[in-house]
Structure 1
Amino acid sequence: MQIQNSPGKLLAAMRASAPLVHCITNYVAMNIAANVVLAAGASPAMVHAEEEAGEFAAIAGALTINIGTLSANWLKGMQNAARSAVANGKPWVLDPVAHYATGFRRQAVAQLLDLKPAIIRGNASEIIALGGGESRGRGVDSRDPVEQAEEAARSLARQYGSVVAVTGAVDFVTDGTGACRIAGGSPLMPQVTALGCSLTCLVGAFAATVPDEPFDATVAALASFAVAGEKAAARADGPGSFGWRFLDALAGLDAAALDAEARVTAA
């Protein structure tokens, strides 16, 4: 699928507008996710209380929902925020973390899917299971290769009218008709807690920049992560130094370098 806006173009546009991104994410991810969004050039807000999440979603440029540390009260906040985002024409992104692990999670994700996410981002095991297939996932870990999730991703995209991103060694993005693969990143990335959750928040930042182009926004976010990950890994001694080097690499990306180094191919 041919994207209409290059990742570099959208990175420059995102930094110029510095959109407010409403991030409902898990306790483990809050700090790194906020730092990732800031490094990329947007403005994160971690607001999850049911009493205010709906009101806040209406003023943000986009909403992201990650169910990593789910509770009944958080779920109410997520639902209020998603309803508000849709009502106010704001794109929202669903990260169905380990949704297959418990009945509570399965029910929560089913309810959130009914609220029409513009984008769904997950690892291969999560996307396979979300599509009704048998995955090898255990907890939050993916034990399936991305290519085995591609058909499930296409089916989910058609079913829910969403862009679906499967992230892993080579990412896959589809709107149910066209698709792209994004190569890059580093094997160190899964060794740094919550980088995947942070990517979901970054997808929201790009979606806020071009709310009518969720496919291009998703590709731009994944390409930014992939290029920054390669740059960080080239100088890192291990996962500890990779973590801070990744933030520096993301902050140091410029539009021209991103477009020159991103490896995005039609699938």
Structure 2
Amino acid sequence: MEEKTNDPPKQEQENQQEGTWARQAWAHLSTVRQQSPLIQCITNFVSMDLVANVMLAAGASPAMIHSIEEIPDFTPKAHALYINVGTLTPDWLPAMKLAIQVANENKKPWVLDPVAAGASGFRLKACLELLGMKPTVVRGNGSEIIALFKGSEDSNSKGVDSMHESTDAVEAAKSLAEVSGSIVAVSGAVDIVTDGQRVVGAKNGVSMLQKITATGCSVTALIAAFVAIDPSRAFEATASAMSVFGVASEIGMDMAKGPASLRMHMIDSLYGLDRATVLHRVNISAI
């Protein structure tokens, strides 16, 4: 006689896990709104406006402070640090490194966005140096994560545009997470998040985000805000941030006529997200 078990069917287990992810995503967003964590953003000139507005819409408090003279006084007050190398120059690197050092000394989480990491030797070297300073989370597109993993330039690089799907970078992301000790997130049609062992996919978002500059930068900043309020669970916070950002873009797309109006409606949608919508629309599952 076949032995009976009380284990729920696989589909039911998966549904329960996805429900847990949705509840976690709402918990992270509502806590950000309640606590309004202060996030120091050393980010590129192209992204500053959208990054600040996305963070404000989510309930966080962004501070675009990158002057090396201010870092010793200001960085200890921040709840997290966000580093983005988009418009990198040699003058910015010392400030980035000092801010990271101060954040590490004060046990504050920090998040790295290695924009176009494989586009030049200078940029790759800088990104690898920053990676060596132990970011809590690294978020990039497929090409950026593969470049960091290989430690080599990409002769086919198109700058910030990815030549790889996020799913092409799963193994590179897992290995990079194991080597660096960071959570690694890869943006794409399915956003991948891994700690080297666990891998989940956040399946929210719209393709038109690729037509709006700095959306990737903005989701990395949102990750910093979510990690700031739950630093001991950076894996869960990262997946939650990526999914919530994707949900806001989906709702915004329902009202948008193109990239410019999507930008506006996405910010409004993020600001207006409620519990029922997050629980219904967040789509995160194991891969």
Please name the residue that 2:84 is paired with. Answer: 66
Q: 1:156 Cα deviation (Å)?
A: 0.5
Q: 1:178 Cα deviation (Å)?
A: 0.4
Higher mean displacement: 32-41 or 254-263: 254-263
Please name the residue that 1:111 is paired with. Answer: 129
Give yes or no for contact 1:8–1:256 (8 Å, CA) kept in 2. Answer: no
Q: What do the CA deviations read for 1:4-31 (whole angstroms, capped 9, x no partner)? A: 8710011111111000011110000001
* Partner Cα distance (1:144, 1:45) in 2: 32
* Partner Cα distance (1:44, 1:210) in 2: 17
Matched, 1:190 2:210: yes
* Partner Cα distance (2:199, 2:79) in 1: 25
Q: 1:57 Cα deviation (Å)?
A: 1.8
Please name the residue that 2:183 is paired with. Answer: 163
Higher mean displacement: 50-59 or 184-193: 50-59
Matched, 1:10 2:28: yes
Decide whether aligned partners of structure 1 residues 36 and 159 sit closer, same or farther in structure 2, where only a CA change above 3 A counts: same
Q: Which amino acid aligns with 1:204?
A: A
Q: Tell me the number of residue pairs that the alignment of Structure 1 and Structure 2 aligns.
A: 267
Q: What do the CA deviations read for 1:218-256 (whole angstroms, capped 9, x no partner)? A: 011101111011101111111111110010011011233
Give yes or no for contact 1:229–1:246 (8 Å, CA) kept in 2. Answer: yes
Equivalence map 1:25-104=2 (5 Å): 25-104=43-122
Runs of at least 5 residues in structure 1 that lack an aligned partner in the other structure: none
Q: What do the CA deviations read for 1:122-145 (whole angstroms, capped 9, x no partner)? A: 001101111107865311111211
Q: Which amino acid aligns with 1:129?
A: A
Give yes or no for contact 2:205–2:245 (8 Å, CA) kept in 1. Answer: yes
* Partner Cα distance (2:252, 2:143) in 1: 26
Q: 1:54 Cα deviation (Å)?
A: 4.1
Higher mean displacement: 122-131 or 3-12: 3-12
Give yes or no for contact 1:11–1:255 (8 Å, CA) kept in 2. Answer: no
Q: Which amino acid aligns with 1:197?
A: C
Q: Which amino acid aligns with 2:58?
A: A
TM-score, length of structure 2 as denominator length: 0.89
Give yes or no for contact 2:140–2:186 (8 Å, CA) kept in 1. Answer: yes
Give yes or no for contact 2:118–2:153 (8 Å, CA) kept in 1. Answer: no
Give every structure 1 segment of 4 or more consecutive aligned residues whose post-TM-superposition deviation is greater than 3 Å.
1-5, 133-137
Give yes or no for contact 1:21–1:44 (8 Å, CA) kept in 2. Answer: yes
Q: Which amino acid aligns with 1:67?
A: V
Give yes or no for contact 1:21–1:63 (8 Å, CA) kept in 2. Answer: yes
Decide whether aligned partners of structure 1 residues 215 and 54 sit closer, same or farther in structure 2, where only a CA change above 3 A counts: farther
Please name the residue that 1:210 is paired with. Answer: 230
Structure of higher CA gyration radius? 2
TM-score, length of structure 1 as denominator length: 0.96
One of 239, 248, 257 as aligned partner of 1:219: 239
Equivalence map 1:16-27=2 (5 Å): 16-27=34-45
Matched, 1:149 2:192: no
Q: Which amino acid aligns with 1:259?
A: L
Give yes or no for contact 1:48–1:77 (8 Å, CA) kept in 2. Answer: yes
Give yes or no for contact 1:7–1:255 (8 Å, CA) kept in 2. Answer: no
* Partner Cα distance (1:153, 1:118) in 2: 14
Secondary structure, aligned partner of 2:220:
helix
* Partner Cα distance (1:31, 1:226) in 2: 19
